[in-house]
Chains A and B, each alone.
Chain A
């Protein structure tokens, strides 16, 4: 029960983020309106330091700290790095939008950083308790971010829906955790796994609990039928909040799923596999179908998220190391794609105007050919067109599913992704083959945003051409 300072080592990235958040919170009090950009700089510096610390303390085999509450393993290293890098991009993209609307205030950065902190905690949680607390930290920050624009009634409505449904989801998740605790007598993953292995799959209480856990996971990911919040929140929330919401939290949700289902309950794979199959098929089907009927691009991307979640579940449900690695690859790639897509929407927005309709993308090529090319890359990647990385990601999860002799599922997935390709390609049609609206001004962006977006878009191409680097890291995590 004594406390060893060595415990603090693996949470140095988390500590860095917390310190950054506190620093911004205090400093913001003394900043004049025109100096608020400093918040931004500090946040980025903090994130970069956290990336460095993640690299410094990472590596090597899994180690457990804090009396079993925290684990540091290859998976947590990789996912933390991915979350932090994606977060850097989100903050860079968000800044001009906030500045134009007078919202470049410390609270945005504090909330964003605390959300990131929550995700980091989830990623390296080694027990249900830590996992749940990280989840709540992240979720609370996200609720607040969705309602961040106090004068927007749609934002408030979206936040309200998100909050209530989120509370419901958390409640169900907790109920499931209590069942697992009841059946195994522990809230730490390793003892739970040991107890489950001993009891076998005869214990109905465990299956009962898993159903609730799967719902919690499904809600966090936004899988059908627990997806209802996704379109409304994406549409109603301010775009920077959606940008944060749609990217890194998916990585955290992946960690949530893997920690609970794989670290804790791998023995019960046959049970949760069936549940994930249902969610995956429904998500891919509904997501892709409904996305077609959308005219609001944020809503379209929301349904696209839902369909991608279906694909991520394909890798998870395979239950093999190769499947987990594929799902992890897919999740990280998805986060990069999503952050890029919403980043483009932010670039298209300007003072008093939010790019939300598909028509707002019309003639992007004539307005800025480079951003048009980046958006095209992102869309091709989302549609899964080679040689972008989206293709690789889809291929890997499909391979995982085929390997466990669920060919029918792979065929269903391919079928729906073909349907899905339609709405991505429609975006490209708008970008390249339509004329811009007459009043569309030229895009003015800072070189930082341009650099980040170029990096973001080209990464999709580079990862598609050379997937081995990322893939081998993903494979090493399992």
Chain B
């Protein structure tokens, strides 16, 4: 019973947070709601006895991805007005399509097809089964091929990201702190130049000459 209660609480928060993500005006708020949605989803995983997935979701998504995302959003100067410019104008069509879509999905993904008759509640496996271990065993035996492919995808992501963003721009005036620190007081900062005295002809004021 308590389990059910927790499930509904988490589920309601997840849904509410998701709606907030797409309706908030301030993108920072949106990101924070997304974090909330992830956290509650992680709770749902744990309820399903998939502790490993729950923890990974928090560690990877909340801990790394979303924080990064937050930084990006805060640093960018996003003009909300332009983003929302067409919103009302497109709303009728978008709303209609969304409604049809929702109806159709509900027709299929409803209790008729995915009810407890079709998918009975799985029996709990008990405390001695470690799903981290099971997952690991599966991943590195049956699914070794997909795992390797995933590794290649990560490699690709690194290469692509570096290629697309790392660039030398001679025209930007950036400062290299390391170079600043390395500057020595004597020879680098001030240079004393000894010059021979120049023989400069005195400026003759025309007024004086008269």
Contacts and interface: CB of A to CB of B under 8 A. Distances in A.
Genuine A/B complex:
yes
Interface of A: 1-3, 7, 11, 18, 25, 66-67, 69-70, 107, 110-111, 114, 117, 121, 129-130, 133-134, 136-137, 140-141, 143-144, 147-148, 150, 179, 182-183, 203-205, 208
Nearest to B104: A208
Nearest to B138: A1
A137 B137 contact: no
A69 B146 contact: yes
Interface residues of B, number: 26
B174 to A, nearest CB: 17
A147 B150 CA distance: 22
Contacts of A143: 160
Interface in B111-146: 113-114, 137, 141-146
A74 to B, nearest CB: 21
A137 B156 contact: yes
B156 A69 contact: no
B105 to A, nearest CB: 8
A147 B152 contact: no
B113 A205 contact: yes
Contacts of A130: 145-146, 149
Contact of B159 (A110, A133, A203, A204): A110
A33 to B, nearest CB: 13
Given A137-B152, A204-B113, A205-B113, A144 B163 contact: yes
B12 interface: no
Contacts of A136: 153
Contact of B160 (A67, A140, A208): A140
Given A114-B152, A129-B146, A144 B164 contact: yes
Contacts of B167: 150
A3 B159 contact: no
Mostly, the B contact residues are: helix
Given A130-B149, A208-B108, A111 B142 contact: no
B164 A18 contact: no
B160 A66 contact: no
A2 B142 CA distance: 9
Contacts of B152: 18, 114, 117, 137
Nearest to B162: A107
Contact of A133 (B113, B114, B150): B150
Contact of A148 (B145, B150, B163): B163
Residue with the highest number of chain A CB atoms closer than 10 Å, among B137, B153, B156: B156
Given A67-B143, A114-B159, 6 more contacts: A1-B142, A69-B146, A110-B159, A111-B163, A133-B149, A205-B113
A140 B153 contact: yes
Contacts of B137: 1
A453 B178 CA distance: 52
Given A140-B153, A205-B108, A133 B146 contact: yes
B156 A114 contact: yes
Contacts of A110: 159
Nearest to B165: A150
Residue with the highest number of chain A CB atoms closer than 10 Å, among B142, B143, B152, B153: B152
B113 A111 contact: no
A109 to B, nearest CB: 11
Contacts of B141: 1-3, 67
26 contacts: A1-B137, A3-B141, A18-B152, A107-B163, A111-B159, A114-B155, A114-B156, A117-B152, A121-B149, A129-B143, A130-B146, A133-B149, A133-B150, A134-B149, A137-B149, A140-B157, A140-B160, A141-B156, A144-B156, A144-B159, A150-B163, A182-B114, A204-B108, A205-B109, A208-B104, A208-B108
A203 B112 CA distance: 11
A23 to B, nearest CB: 13
A134 B156 CA distance: 12
Interface in B70-99: none
Nearest to A115: B156
B56 to A, nearest CB: 18
A1 B137 CA distance: 9
Contacts of A11: 145
Nearest to A126: B145
Contacts of A148: 163
A111 B156 contact: yes
| A-B complex: 10 closest residue pairs judged by Cβ atoms | A144-B160, A66-B145, A1-B141, A133-B149, A107-B163, A67-B142, A208-B108, A69-B145, A205-B113, A114-B156
A60 B109 CA distance: 42
Contacts of B113: 182-183, 203-205
A46 to B, nearest CB: 15
Residue with the highest number of chain B CB atoms closer than 10 Å, among A1, A18, A134, A144: A144
A107 B155 CA distance: 12
A141 B163 CA distance: 11
Nearest to B156: A114
Given A1-B137, A205-B108, A133 B164 contact: no
A110 B159 CA distance: 8
A147 B164 CA distance: 7
A208 B109 CA distance: 9
Given A3-B144, A66-B145, A205-B113, A107 B159 contact: yes
